[in-house]
Amino acid sequence: MSNEFGVREGEIAVDLPAKTDAGLYYIGRIRTPWKQRKDCPKNARESDAVCTVELDERWADGLKDVATCSHIILLYWMDKSPRNLVRQVPGHYGVPHGTFALRSPARPNPIAMSVVKLLRIAGGTLSVVGLDCLDGTPLLDIKPYFASTDSVPEAVVGWHKTKD
């Protein structure tokens, strides 16, 4: 990412706005086996590792009925990412793409999402499979995954489909 490795050839960085428009609360932390980004899975389906989500006690009542969900959506904050890149050259693709055509953690608001399988909940700790983030990554939100409305089997990402 550009804050650690510099802007790569073909990438475009912009000046960030002088101030942010909204605040947010970290509601917990995600615990994973990965301490360095290079060791993280590239996406949520690349690893079967069981990870844990530690929800802060304050929000614990919000877990009522969550245990009935087989899958949940986790939103998390990629706290080690630059926020100023609008064009990026992901190492594994090698050509530039617009930030909003990528799932890169580097984005104006470094919000990541994964649909994870929920194994169990014990107190404020959720055990899940399907994460790709560093140990200690801040948690922003938990939502139920509705296959009926969230799944779009015919969806395509054209630029990715033509790659090979």
Give the interface with ligand SAM as residue ranges (CB under 6 A): 37, 40-44, 78-81, 103-105, 112-114, 132-134, 137
Phi-psi region of 10 (alpha: psi -120 to 50; beta: other; left: phi over 0): left
Specify the residue, 44 or 51, whose C-beta has the smaller distance to ligand SAM.
44
Contact criterion met (CB below 8 Å) for 58 and 129? no
Mapping DSSP to helix (H, G, I), strand (E, B) and coil, where does residue 155 land?
Answer: coil
Distance in Å, CB of 101 to ligand SAM, minimum = 12
Asked if residue 82 lies in contact with residue 106, where contact means CB atoms within 8 angstroms, the answer is yes
Nearer to ligand SAM, 63 or 113 (CB): 113
Q: How near is the Cβ of 138 to ligand SAM at its closest, in Å?
A: 8
- As a dihedral over the C-alpha atoms of residue 85, residue 24, residue 75, residue 137, rounded to 10 degrees, the angle is 80
Least Å distance, CB 64 to ligand SAM, is 26
Q: Which is nearer to ligand SAM, 52 or 61 (CB)?
A: 52
CB of 34 to ligand SAM, least distance (A): 7
Judged by beta carbon, residue 81 or residue 99, the one nearer ligand SAM is 81
Q: Where would I find the H helices in the chain?
A: 2-5, 147-150, 158-161
User: What would the two tokens of residue 72 be?
Assistant: 């949940």
